[in-house]
Structures are given as structure tokens and as C-alpha cells.
Structure 1
Amino acid sequence: MNPEHFDHIFERFYRIHNTASQHYAGIGLGLYVARAIIDRHGGHIWLENNQGTGCTFHVILPIVPPPDQPSEAAPRSDAVLE
């Protein structure tokens, strides 16, 4: 992928022309949707260019306890506080 695409790759409906097959693949929503979901969870997604071998996508998401399990930091509603 050319570096000119890096600033746009997560935009809605952004597609890169495949010069080998002379067409555009997909509809340009995959990375846009991925970023929207990750952003809403308080995370971050970015790409790293591996020159000549493609790109690596990185995702960081915050760790939170599942809603049905109490957090270590918050006292449980049935806990006795002294």
C-alpha cells in the first residue's frame, strides 16, 4: 500500500485501486467499521507499514471486567463495609 493512502484508509467508502486487476475490491467499509467499534470501546487502531511486505494493523482495547462480574476496585453490593 502506498503511503498516500495511510491518512485515508479508515475513512468510510475509501477504496484502493488494484492496478493488477484494474478494479476496486470491496465497498470500503471494513476498516471504517472496525475503527468505529474500537473507538466506541475506548480503544485505538492504527497501521504500520512494513515496506515491501505489506502492513500490520494494531489494535489496543481497554481491559474491563464483564458486566456480570464485579470490579476489584468497586465494592460489591453484598459486601460488608466496616
Structure 2
Amino acid sequence: MTVEVERSDRHVMEVTNGLAAEFSGVLARPVVSEAVLDARRDLEGQIVPEALSEMLHQLARHRLGNLSTARKASVG
């Protein structure tokens, strides 16, 4: 289901691809995809459509950074 939604939305697909590459080796792609989809749902109706891609990237990247830091702290 996640993959179908990801592929149906150009913004989600582009942001997921970029962040999956950025967090490669740190977070699995399904984790990245879920964070992007969650951010997309949170932003829906909150911002102008022209800003969606940038805001989606920023919000998902912020959340993934926090998740990555939390995981490192729990391992260390």
C-alpha cells in the first residue's frame, strides 16, 4: 500500500527518493517512505500547493533526522 501511494504522488516520490539516498545506511527505505507519507498527510490543506514539495522535504527530513539521532542514542 505504501509503495502505491508513494508512486501516485510525484512530490512524495521525489522527496522519498532524495531522502532515501540521504539516509541510506542509516534508515531503511520503508521508514523513510512512511515518514514522507506521514508528513504529506500532516501538510495536506495546510500550505499552498506550490510549496508542497519544499515543505514536505523539510518536514520529513527533520523527522528522519530526529529518528536517526534517537536510534543512535539508544544503541550507544
Q: Structure 2-normalised TM-score?
A: 0.32
Greater relative contact order (CA < 8 Å, ≥ 6 in sequence): 2
**Higher share in helix:** 2
**Higher share in strand:** 1
Greater Rg by CA: 1
